[in-house]
Structures are given as structure tokens and as C-alpha cells.
């Protein structure tokens, strides 16, 4: 990119063109498109859950306990006679919400810290970077388990725990990107014409470090969904009777011989939605990389 | 030279460990309500509560509390488990070998699958082999490993009756039985790592295969097998070795769920049981030990990298 010459254009029509090009590249990438479709599918069923003609996910039926798939219950019933299809669809809401909200927490806390550390350097950078190292030293899931344990088990606390555990990745990523960008001529230029630091950060630095953050966020949603399922599986996330894929698996493991279908569906759903976000994230990385043609 | 390198790494590691201890200490401040009441459990007797406040210095300012806590840890006193009344460090020492056995077996499985798959997919870049390996790796990363564990138990233990679904035996008591109980959990844990390892091996190999010395090796008529394994792979190995240290964290986190499913009495099961019995000293001890272990592993990896790579020495 010839930064100096493009400076005015960068603000007007260069951005949508870059976006368009990325979208075209994404469309052309078959596996990324499959990922996109998977994500759209799960987001739609989660969003439409209240409107779909399905059973109440918490309604028990003592006459239909642990029945295999049938016309009445397409995916079978669980140990309390609840309809598994309906619990799967409502469970999608919990999983996706947990994935997206925890990543939003991670991004909204992590990115500002990374911006500040990378832009100002010096002792601020030292403090932020050492704190980030300290958080990264604890494995993601163990930190999330410890936080969820001290905060108390609930879906909200699981999201906070996952978000805080994922946050240091964004601090480190943003810091690294800012270090690269702040030496560019257009940043020097903006500085020279006397723009205030917040304006400079918001208008010149942030948009130029946005792409890798978006890619990382997409991939982290995948990790966060697995983390939520893991916490709920351990009993530290979604609490009964509200459904989530992880808590459904937690119950299902007690009925492996009598009702194997109970363990099948939630696992397949987690696999597909996580695969979707991983494919989409990999595709976005390729599409947003200006070096590749 | 070497010493100054290690000193510089330590200068980063020590403040990091200090910050970890601050975070772990403040975890307990997240607890809602009076910590004395929580530590007392069922007990509501005012004398017991007063004793607990005295013992854990809960009446002192927070900084003093931290100093008591941290100086205890430096002397190897991580507190007492509320559940078993054992010192936390002793409890960790008991459980850790089990998890290390699981982790080592998982790592071996991951390397056997991941490294050859990565080499193959780099050498055959853009072919069906490469795509298949990538799809399998991405699937491996997307499957929740606790679910894979449940499915394997259903298939291998329940239907086929080949391996036990749970339990643990020390390899020093009964090696065959130990292998039988550990092979399935190690496979579950290993597959997730194999995927990561494959992707890294692939990209490291792709980088090396583009270099001039590989082209030279080919140009002088060496067999492709020799070029790939002797010239390319040896040089790609460096980033792979360093990655193994970073995978340590992933292994421990994966072990938490794997041990839960296969009821293996290891480090991971310890933290989960501690969470449910509100045995907070154990939770803090486990987090602290994991973090310090991870930082030390990274230090070792850095030193190894330094020793293995002559270019690093001049770069400093």
C-alpha cells in the first residue's frame, strides 16, 4: 500500500472496495463459505427458537422417558421425557450467546489495553505486557474453571470467566499490530498535523489493526463455544433445567448404555458450529490478507 | 553470553510469577460474602469463625493478608485442603504423576500422528492428501474432546468390551493394566494436540522447503526422501520443539475434562473436585502451580531454542 498517496482515498472509497474484495475472496473460498453457511444456520435457529413450532424445552413427560427418535420426537427424549430437538434448539441460543458475549468481553477489554501498550510503550507497556504474560501462563480452561468456581456457577459467570480468560490474547495481538502500524508514514503524518492522541488511535490506528482482530475474534468464538460446553459439562455453566449442549452431555454420560442418542446430538451440534467458526476464521484470514492475491 | 541470556529471561519470568500470585490471591476476593463463613462450611459457631479469621489473618489489611499468603507459598505452604485436611502441596504432588503419565502418552500419540501428517501435507501441498489432512486436522480441533471421550467409551468399552471405561492403575504396580486404562484417555487428549501439531509442522515445513539450501540439495541430485527428512525436517524441527512447551498448557487443560470422563484421579480431577467442594485453597494451589510450571517450561524452551539455534546467539 502506498500510504501517503492514498491518505484521502483511504477515508472515502478505499474501505468499501477493500471490504468488497474481501467478501469476493471469501465467497470464492469453498471451505470458508461452508463455514459461513454453518454459522448462519445455527445463528438462525438460535434466533428463531421462540418462533419455531417446537415443544417447551423444559416440559417433562413421564410417559416418554428416554425414547429413541420417533415421529413425535425427532431426536428422541431425555431422562425426564423432554424433547431433545427443542432442547437442542434452545441450547444453540445458550452456546452462541456464550461464544459471542464472552468474545465481546475479551475484545472490549483486551483491545484498548493492547492499543495503549503498543502506542505508548515505556513503563505502561511493561506493566500491561507482564500482566498479560501472567494471565497467559494459566491455561485458558483452568483459568476459566477457577474464575467460574469463585464467581459461582451460572451461564453469565461462565461468560465472564471465558471472556476474561480469552482477553490476554487480544491484548498481545493488538499490541503487536499497533507496534507495526505506528511506524507507518500516515500515522506520522497524522501526528504531524497535530491530531489528538484519542483521535489518532481511533481514526488511524484502530482501523488498520482491525482485520487481524476480526480473524482472531472469529476463531476465539469457536474456542469460547467449546469452553462454555466444557464448563456446562462440568456443571459450572448453564444450570438445570435450562438447556445447553454442554449440560445435556453432562446428563447424557450417565445414560450411555440406555440412551446413546442423548449424547450424540449435542456433540454433533458443538462440532458443526465450532467447525463453522473455524472455517470462517481461516477463510477471513486469507480474504483479509492484503499480501495474497 | 549464555548466562546473561538466562538472566534476562529470568528478569521477565520473576515479575510474571509475582503477578500470577497477585491474580490468584485476588481470586478469593471474588467470593461473595464473608470468607470466614465460606471457609467454615457447615459450622456457624462464632468461636470457630473467630478462629478462622485469626488463622487466615482475615482481620488484617489486605496487603498483610497477601504477604502472609505469599510468604507461606515461598516456604512451600500452600494451605490445607478443607476436604481431606492434607497440605495442598502434598495433594498436588500425589496427583501430578498420574497427569504427567497421561500427558506424556498423549504427547507421544500426538507426535506419531501430527508430525508425519504435517510433513506429508507440506510435501504434497495443494493435492488431495494435503486437503484431506487439513480437513481431518480442522475437525480434530473442532471436536470437543470430552465428547470424543464419551463416544469412544460407548464404542470401545460398552459395545466392544475391549478396554475399561474408567479407573487407574500405576504403571509401577501393573504396567499392562495401566496401559489398558490410559490408552483411550491418552488418545482422546492426543488427537486434539495432533491437529495443532500437524498445522504447525505443515507451516514450518512449507517455510523450510522454500529455502535455497533445500533447492541446492535437490539440484545436486539427492533423493527426495533425503531432502525432505535430512535437510528440511531437521530445520523445521526447531519451531516444533518450542511449540511442545507451549502445548503443555493445552495438555493440562485438556486433562481436566479427560480425567473427569474416564474418572482418572489426576491433577485435573483434583481441581474439579475442589471446585465442587469449595476447597478454595486447592483451586488456588492448582492454578498457581500450573502457571509457574508453564512459565518455567517456557524458560526451558527459550534456553533450548538458544542452544539449538546458533543464529540466535549472534542475533542477541
Could you please report the per-residue DSSP string of A38-54?
HHHHHHHHHHHTTTSS-
Give chain A's contact residues with B (Cβ, < 8 Å): 130-131, 133-135, 137-143, 145-152, 222, 226, 229-230, 233-236, 249, 252-253, 256-257, 260, 263, 266-267, 270-271, 274-275, 278-279, 282
CA-based nearest residue in chain B for residue A252: B150
* Section B225-250 average pLDDT: 77
CA angle A127, A133, A138 (to 5 degrees): 135
- Cα dist from A257 to A78, A232, A262, B222, whole Å: 13, 22, 10, 57
Which comes out higher in pLDDT, residue B39 or A86? A86
Whether A190 and A133 have beta carbons less than 8 Å apart is answered as no
Give contacts of B158 with chain A, Cβ < 8 Å. 256-257
Segment A31-37 mean pLDDT: 89
Q: Give the chain A residue whose CA is nearest to the CA of B257.
A: A230
pLDDT at A8: 44
- Residue in B16, B144, B261 closest to A229 by CB: B144
ipTM, 2 dp:
0.83
Q: How confident is the model at residue A221 (pLDDT cuts 50, 70, 90)?
A: very high
Distance (Å, rounded) from C-alpha A28 to C-alpha A287? 10
Residue B50 Cα, gap to closest chain A Cα (Å):
23
Specify burial of residue B172 (Cβ count, 10 A radius: 0-12, 13-18, 19+). Answer: exposed
DSSP character string of B22-57? HHHHHHGGGSSS-HHHHHHTT---HHHHHHHHHHTT
In a mutational test of the A interface, the residue from B142, B195, B292, B296 whose CB has the highest number of chain A CBs within 10 Å is B142
Q: Mind giving me the DSSP string for A205-239?
A: IHHHHHHHHHHHHHHHHHHHHHHHHHHHHHTSSSP
Contacts of A287 (CB under 8 A, 6+ apart): A22, A23, A25, A26, A29, A32
Residue of B25, B126, B150 to mutate for A, most A C-beta atoms under 10 A: B150
Confidence of residue B232 (pLDDT cuts 50, 70, 90): confident
**A101 min Cα distance to partner chain B (Å):** 20
Q: Which residues of B72-106 are buried (b: 16+ CB within 10 A; e: fewer)?
A: ebeeeebbbbbbbeebbeebbeebbebbebbbebb
Q: Give the residue, B79 or A276, on which the prediction is more confident.
A: A276
What region does A121 belong to: left with phi over 0, alpha with psi -120 to 50, or beta?
Answer: left
- B112: pLDDT confidence band, cut at 50, 70 and 90? very high
Closest Cα in chain A to B32? A151
Q: How far is A10 from chain B (nearest CA, A)?
A: 33
From the candidates A137, A140, A223, A225, which should be mutated to test the interface with B, based on the most B CB atoms within 10 A?
A137
Grid cell of A191 as nine digits:
501526528
Residue of B nearest to A222 (CA): B142
Least confident of A17-31, A260-274, B70-84: A17-31
Percent of chain B with pLDDT over 70: 94
Residue A224 reports pLDDT greater than 90 = yes
Pairwise CA distance, residues A243 & A95, whole Å: 10
Mean pLDDT for the stretch of residues B207-231:
83
Cβ contact, residue pair A138, B153, below 8 Å:
no
**pLDDT at position A288 over 90:** no
C-alpha separations of A82 from A62, A79, A85, A90, B128 in Å: 9, 7, 9, 12, 44
pLDDT in tens, B89-107: 898 988 888 998 999 999 9
Lowest mean pLDDT among A73-77, A268-272, B308-312: B308-312
| pLDDT, tens digit (0-9, with 9 covering 90-100), for B6-47 | 888 888 888 888 888 988 888 877 776 677 777 776 667 788
pLDDT at B106: 92
Going from the C-alpha of B14 to that of each of B21, B134, B297, B299, B307, the distances in angstroms are 11, 39, 14, 11, 22
Q: Which residue has the higher pLDDT, B65 or A15?
A: B65
Give percent of chain B with pLDDT exceeding 90.
7
Confidence band, pLDDT 50/70/90 cuts, at residue A42: very high
- Confidence band of A1 (pLDDT split at 50, 70, 90): very low
| pLDDT given for residue B156 in this prediction | 85
**A234 interaction partners in chain B (CB closer than 8 Å):** 256-257, 260, 272, 275
- Do A139 and A197 form a contact (C-beta atoms < 8 A)? no
**What is the SS3 assignment for B80?**
strand
Chain B: residue whose CA lies nearest to A137: B291
Task: Give the pLDDT confidence score for residue B310 in this predicted structure.
Answer: 66
CA distance B270 to A51: 43
What pLDDT is stored for residue A275 in this prediction? 94
Query: Which cell numbers in the block locate residue A264?
Result: 450424540
Instruction: Output A214 or B163, whichever has higher pLDDT.
Output: A214
State residue A7's pLDDT score.
43
**Closest residue in chain A to residue B247, using alpha carbons only:** A139
Q: What is the mean pLDDT of residues A211-239?
A: 91
Read off the pLDDT band of B313 (50, 70, 90).
Answer: low
Mutate to test the interface with B, among A95, A123, A140, A142 (most CBs of B within 10 A): A142
C-beta atoms of B138 and A282 within 8 A = yes
Query: Least CB-CB distance to B287: which of A131, A146, A234?
Result: A146
Q: Which of A88, A62, A61, A63 is nearest to A74 (CA)?
A: A88
Distance from CA of B128 to the nearest CA of A (A): 14
Contact A283, A32 (CB under 8 A): yes
Residues B256, A142: C-beta atoms closer than 8 Å: yes
Ranked by mean pLDDT, the top range of A32-36, B30-34, B241-245 is A32-36
**DSSP letter string, A53-110:** S---TT---TTSTTPPS-SSSTT-B-TT--BHHHHHHHHHHHHHHHHHHHHHHHHHHH
What is the average pLDDT across A211-237?
A: 91
Residues of B in contact with A282 (CB under 8 A): 138
Radius of gyration of chain A (CA): 22
Q: pLDDT at residue A85 above 90? A: no
Confidence of residue A3 (pLDDT cuts 50, 70, 90): very low
How distant is the Cα of B311 from the closest Cα of chain A, in angstroms? 23
Grid coordinates representing B171 are 504403571
Q: Residue A169's pLDDT band (boundaries 50, 70, 90)?
A: very high
Q: Please enumerate in sequence order all residues whose Cβ is within 8 A of that of A152, keeping only pairs 6 or more positions apart, or say none.
A: B32
Confidence (pLDDT) at B172: 81
Is the pLDDT at B167 greater than 80? The verdict is no
Asked if A278's CB is within 8 angstroms of B142's CB, the reply is: yes
What pLDDT is stored for residue A10 in this prediction? 43
Instruction: Tell me the nearest-neighbour CA distance from B217 into chain A, angstroms.
Output: 28
pLDDT of residue A189: 86
Q: Average pLDDT of A237-258?
A: 84
Considering only CB atoms, A146 lies closest to which of B17, B19, B283, namely B283
The whole-angstrom separation of Cα A63 and Cα A56 is: 16
> Looking at residue A115, what is its pLDDT?
93
Test mutation, B253, B280, B301, chain A, max A CBs within 10 A? B253
Q: Is the pLDDT of residue A200 over 60?
A: yes
Asked if pLDDT for residue B311 goes beyond 70, the answer is no
Q: How many CA atoms lie within 13 A of A9 on its CB side?
A: 9
Residue A167 has pLDDT above 90, yes or no: yes
* B147, B260, B294 member nearest A137 (Cβ): B294
Instruction: Tell me the C-alpha distance between A111 and A19, whole Å.
Output: 21
| pLDDT class of A280 with cuts at 50, 70, 90 | very high
For residues A236-247, give the mean pLDDT.
86
Q: In this complex, do B291 and A138 lie within 8 Å of one another by their Cβ atoms?
A: yes
Which range has the top average pLDDT, A252-256, B58-62, B126-130?
A: B126-130
Cβ contact, residue pair A226, B144, below 8 Å: yes
Q: State whether B150 and A252 contact (CB < 8 Å).
A: yes
Residues 6+ apart with CB under 8 A from B103: B189, B248, B251, B252, B255
Q: Which percentage of chain A shows pLDDT scores above 70?
A: 90
> Which of A145, A249, A266 minimises the CB distance to B275?
A145
Greatest distance between any 2 Cα atoms in chain B = 85
Residue A154's closest CA among B25, B256, B282, B32?
A: B32
pLDDT at A171 (0 to 100): 94
Q: Which region among B30-44, B200-214, B292-306 has the lowest average model confidence (pLDDT)?
A: B30-44
Residue of B23, B150, B290 lying closest to A135 (CB–CB)? B23
Amino acid at each position: 500500500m502506498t500510504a501517503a498517496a492514498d491518505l484521502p482515498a483511504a477515508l472515502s472509497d478505499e474501505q468499501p472496495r477493500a471490504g468488497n474484495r474481501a467478501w469476493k475472496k471469501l465467497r470464492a473460498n469453498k471451505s470458508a463459505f461452508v463455514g459461513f453457511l454453518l454459522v448462519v444456520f445455527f445463528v438462525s435457529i438460535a434466533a428463531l427458537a421462540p418462533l419455531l413450532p417446537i415443544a417447551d424445552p423444559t416440559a417433562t413427560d413421564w410417559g416418554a422417558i428416554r425414547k429413541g427418535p420417533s415421529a413425535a420426537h425427532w431426536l428422541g427424549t431425555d431422562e425426564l421425557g423432554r424433547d431433545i430437538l427443542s432442547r437442542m434448539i434452545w441450547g444453540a441460543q445458550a452456546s452462541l450467546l456464550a461464544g459471542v458475549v464472552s468474545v465481546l468481553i475479551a475484545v472490549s477489554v483486551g483491545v484498548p489495553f493492547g492499543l495503549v501498550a503498543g502506542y505508548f510503550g515505556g513503563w505502561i507497556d511493561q506493566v500491561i505486557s507482564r500482566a498479560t504474560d501472567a494471565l497467559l501462563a494459566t491455561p485458558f480452561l483452568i483459568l476459566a474453571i477457577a474464575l467460574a468456581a469463585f464467581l459461582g456457577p451460572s451461564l453469565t459467570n461462565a461468560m465472564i470467566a471465558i471472556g476474561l480468560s480469552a482477553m490476554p490474547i487480544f491484548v498481545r495481538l493488538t499490541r503487536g499490530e499497533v507496534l507495526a502500524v505506528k511506524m507507518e508514514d500516515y500515522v506520522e503524518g497524522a501526528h504531524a498535523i497535530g491530531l489528538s492522541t484519542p483521535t489518532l488511535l481511533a481514526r488511524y490506528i484502530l482501523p488498520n489493526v482491525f482485520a487481524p482482530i476480526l480473524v482472531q475474534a472469529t476463531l476465539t468464538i469457536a474456542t469460547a463455544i467449546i469452553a462454555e460446553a466444557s464448563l456446562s459439562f462440568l456443571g459450572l455453566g448453564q444450570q438445570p433445567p435450562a438447556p445447553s449442549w454442554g449440560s445435556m452431555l453432562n446428563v447424557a454420560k450417565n445414560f450411555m448404555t440406555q440412551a446413546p442418542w442423548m449424547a450424540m446430538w449435542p456433540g454433533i451440534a458443538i462440532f458443526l458450529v465450532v467447525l463453522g467458526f473455524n472455517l470462517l476464521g481461516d477463510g477471513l484470514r486469507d480474504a483479509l490478507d492484503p499480501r495474497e492475491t | 553470553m549464555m548466562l546473561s541470556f538466562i538472566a534476562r529471561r529470568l528478569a521477565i519470568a520473576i515479575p510474571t510469577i509475582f503477578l500470577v500470585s497477585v491474580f490468584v490471591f485476588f481470586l478469593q476476593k471474588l467470593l461473595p460474602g464473608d470468607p470466614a463463613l465460606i471457609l467454615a462450611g457447615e459450622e456457624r459457631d462464632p468461636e470457630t469463625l473467630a478462629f478462622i479469621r485469626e488463622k487466615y489473618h482475615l482481620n488484617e489489611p489486605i496487603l498483610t493478608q497477601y504477604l502472609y499468603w505469599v510468604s507461606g507459598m515461598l516456604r512451600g505452604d500452600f494451605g490445607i485442603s478443607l476436604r481431606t485436611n492434607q497440605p495442598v502441596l502434598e495433594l498436588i504432588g500425589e496427583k501430578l504423576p498420574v497427569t504427567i503419565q497421561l500427558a506424556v502418552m498423549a504427547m507421544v500419540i500426538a507426535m506419531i500422528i501430527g508430525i508425519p501428517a504435517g510433513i506429508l501435507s507440506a510435501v504434497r501441498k495443494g493435492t488431495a492428501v494435503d486437503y484431506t489432512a487439513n480437513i481431518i486436522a480442522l475437525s480434530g480441533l473442532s471436536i470437543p474432546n470430552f465428547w470424543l471421550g464419551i463416544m469412544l467409551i460407548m464404542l470401545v468399552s460398552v459395545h466392544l468390551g475391549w478396554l475399561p471405561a474408567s479407573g487407574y492403575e500405576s504403571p509401577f504396580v501393573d504396567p499392562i493394566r495401566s496401559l489398558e486404562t490410559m490408552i483411550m484417555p491418552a488418545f482422546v487428549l492426543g488427537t486434539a494436540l495432533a491437529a495443532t501439531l500437524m498445522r504447525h509442522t505443515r507451516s514450518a515445513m512449507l517455510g523450510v522447503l522454500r529455502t535455497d539450501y533445500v533447492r541446492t540439495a535437490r539440484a545436486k541430485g539427492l533423493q527426495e526422501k533425503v531432502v525432505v527428512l535430512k535437510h528440511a525436517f531437521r530445520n523445521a524441527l526447531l519451531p516444533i520443539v518450542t511449540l511442545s512447551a507451549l502445548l503443555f498448557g493445552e495438555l493440562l487443560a485438556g486433562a481436566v475434562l479427560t480425567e473427569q470422563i474416564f474418572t482418572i484421579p489426576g491433577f485435573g480431577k483434583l481441581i474439579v473436585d475442589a471446585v465442587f467442594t469449595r476447597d478454595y485453597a486447592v483451586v488456588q494451589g492448582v492454578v498457581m502451580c500450573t502457571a509457574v510450571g508453564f512459565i518455567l517450561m517456557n524458560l526451558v524452551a527459550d534456553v533450548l531454542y538458544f542452544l539449538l539455534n546458533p543464529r540466535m546467539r549472534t542475533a542477541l
